[in-house]
Structure 1
Amino acid sequence: MNQPPTNKDGLTEEQFLQRYDASQFERPSVTVDMLIFTVAEELEPNYRKLSPKSLQILLVKRADHPYMGHWALPGGFVSPDESLEEAALRELWTETNIDNIYLEQLYTWGEVNRDPRTRVISTSYMALVDSEALEVKAGNDAEDAKWFRIEDKWLRENKMATESGTITEKWVELRFWNEAEELSATIKITRTVSGRIVREEREIVETNQVAFDHAKIIQYALERLRNKIEYTDIAFALMPELFTLTELQQVYEVILGKELLAAAFRRKVADKVIETNHYRKHAGHRPSKYYRFNPEWT
């Protein structure tokens, strides 16, 4: 009969775990932050045109210190008896009343001084949702919960050569607004290429009413969202069962922040949609053919 292996102190794994003292290492707190994006309709006075759309993000107003009165991503601390995803879904429900949505893990943030209370490591999650299907309201942990239109703008860029590669510095401005408030932040992104090693760091240059380091988390999430819409079907989370290609293109344009050529766009999404025999008929519009999402696209 094989004997269980022992370590340098002559202990089996079972004996080691029985004697293990977890307090010998200082343990950081663990949190989750959720980035909930949507594309929402804006008012269009001309009934002959499709209503314009805007990219929006859900933020909560902090009800306590630190950053009391500032706006933050929904989120909170992870309990010892739950997974990261369970904590994300719980915090999203208690702070915003949103339930039963698919969250995709985005990135883990672990800078030492990112939270003034204690050492905090946070895992962020991202989702693109249909806001019309959700009833958002602030829970016990938040003073308020609101959708904010979001816009980013590149300010300037510096590129320097080094002995082993390059250092590129970019500054981007984020602006958030709704009918009642306007927030902003400036992020500096430093990309260092040294041989085959590439590093990218983000730094908050200034922030106006955006809590913690959430501005740079949001900026990173915007980059990832725009990348994902190019090669995944994430945009279809916003579409009804039947939609026109013009409506679909408008969603892509809002997320990407640029206009797309109709012919090129239709070639790009051809394998993601299925043509139907139904037409959109509306006063002031020419009839447009309806399409539906193709779940078997490759």
Structure 2
Amino acid sequence: MTIHDERDRNGLTESEFLESYDVSNYDRPSVTVDMLIFTVMDKEQENFRKLPEKSLQLLLIKRGEHPYLGQWALPGGFVAPHESLDEGAARELYSETNIRDIYMEQLYTWGDVGRDPRTRVISCSYLALVDRTALQVQAGDDADDAQWFEVGYRVLQEKKTNLAEGWELEKIVQLTLTHGSTRLTATVKLVETISDRKSVLRREIVESKGIGFDHAKIIEYAIGRLRNKIEYTDIAFYLMPHLFTLTALQQVYEVILGKELLAAAFRRKIAPMVLETNELTKDAGHRPSKLYRFDPNWNRTF
């Protein structure tokens, strides 16, 4: 007897159970995907002799339909019954922004009740770092527009409160997303309660202007995860051209981490991940610098 032939407490085999199964026994929430596509770009500047400053940017779409009509949100949409989460994410990203064939990894699943005014929705978010110069973004589907927004992340307040058995950490974060004259803002409160060897972290949107759904909360979380991942993975190299200077690479790290790094310490840390080439930069107005490339075998253990 195989496991499929075993009978349950009602005397049914698995095939008999499935034939009589009523899918209406349980409520079925909708499933969506939301994509966080980050890039790092040079800021415009007048002095061409000065190395350009860089900014972290996030791709957003302007909603052309209710709910949140006219507000900006992450690219995304509903997953069809016949497709996987990854397939749904790739399809929605292409239909709304014209971007395809990029590497995305699952970030987090969001399931708060009431996060979507239409119905009960559970969303799986995806994270990607891309070289924007290699993409041709174009709005489509239910999106009126698709644009890159410069990301600002600032901690307004941090507070620690001692509890009877542990402590509570509270942090208030302000997000700003800017494209031309369009400025979106949000304030997110993070509260981490640590007691009896357990840690519970809660996020709450205190205020959100121009950002649809609970996407301000998702963006805040993604920035934190991105800063963590860049410390121990090679994710930053998705932003780099085939050949690059160590100074340009350091700028990318600094923009994502939101802090300046000591050049000597950075170069020691990054040394196992890059290979020096025999080529030099040829930028007008700048001294030639050595060019490097990513070493795909940097973390191979065999």
Name the TM-score class by shorter chain: over 0.9
Matching residue of 2:101: 100
**For residues 180 and 189 of structure 2, what CA distance do their matches in structure 1 show?**
28
Contact 1:62 / 1:70 at 8 angstroms: preserved in 2? yes
Equivalent position SS for 2:203: strand
**For residues 25 and 44 of structure 2, what CA distance do their matches in structure 1 show?**
59
Q: Percent identity?
A: 62
Do the aligned partners of residues 2 and 210 (structure 1) sit closer, same or farther apart at CA in structure 2, a change above 3 Å counting? closer
Contact 1:280 / 1:288 at 8 angstroms: preserved in 2? yes
**For residues 51 and 98 of structure 1, what CA distance do their matches in structure 2 show?**
26
Output the amino acid matched with 2:22: D
Output the amino acid matched with 1:84: L
**For residues 52 and 117 of structure 1, what CA distance do their matches in structure 2 show?**
42
Matching residue of 2:267: 266
Spell out, residue by residue over 1:19-66, the C-alpha distance to the aligned partner (whole angstroms, 9 max, x if none). Answer: 100111110000000000000111222222221111000000111111
Unaligned runs of 5+ in 2: none
**Post-superposition shift, 1:78?**
0.5
Matching residue of 2:44: 43
Spell out, residue by residue over 1:184-223, the C-alpha distance to the aligned partner (whole angstroms, 9 max, x if none). Answer: 0000001010121111110000000100000000000000
Matching residue of 1:90: 91
Output the amino acid matched with 2:107: L
Equivalent position SS for 1:188: strand
**Post-superposition shift, 1:283?**
2.7
Matching residue of 1:70: 71
**For residues 132 and 56 of structure 2, what CA distance do their matches in structure 1 show?**
11
Do the aligned partners of residues 2 and 125 (structure 1) sit closer, same or farther apart at CA in structure 2, a change above 3 Å counting? closer
Matching residue of 2:14: 13
Matching residue of 1:249: 250
Matching residue of 1:201: 202
Matching residue of 1:141: 142
Matching residue of 2:290: 289
Equivalent position SS for 1:295: coil
Output the amino acid matched with 2:206: V
Contact 1:55 / 1:149 at 8 angstroms: preserved in 2? yes
After TM superposition, which residue ranges in structure 1, 4 or more long, deviate above 4 angstroms? none
Q: Does 1:164 align with 2:165?
A: yes
Contact 1:44 / 1:50 at 8 angstroms: preserved in 2? no
**For residues 190 and 76 of structure 1, what CA distance do their matches in structure 2 show?**
29
**For residues 296 and 187 of structure 1, what CA distance do their matches in structure 2 show?**
39
Matching residue of 1:181: 182
Output the amino acid matched with 1:295: P
Q: Which moved more, 1:175-184 or 1:275-284?
A: 275-284
- Number of residues of Structure 1 aligned to a counterpart in Structure 2: 298
Equivalent position SS for 1:269: helix
**For residues 28 and 2 of structure 1, what CA distance do their matches in structure 2 show?**
34
Matching residue of 2:239: 238
Contact 1:278 / 1:290 at 8 angstroms: preserved in 2? yes
**For residues 274 and 260 of structure 1, what CA distance do their matches in structure 2 show?**
21
**Post-superposition shift, 1:140?**
2.1
Q: Which moved more, 1:241-250 or 1:280-289?
A: 280-289
Output the amino acid matched with 1:163: A
Length-normalised TM-score, structure 1 = 0.98
**For residues 38 and 284 of structure 2, what CA distance do their matches in structure 1 show?**
31
**For residues 20 and 282 of structure 2, what CA distance do their matches in structure 1 show?**
73
Q: Does 1:25 align with 2:26?
A: yes
**For residues 160 and 47 of structure 1, what CA distance do their matches in structure 2 show?**
49
Matching residue of 1:121: 122
**Post-superposition shift, 1:282?**
2.5
Unaligned runs of 5+ in 1: none
Output the amino acid matched with 1:258: K
Output the amino acid matched with 2:242: E
**Post-superposition shift, 1:2?**
6.4
Matching residue of 1:223: 224
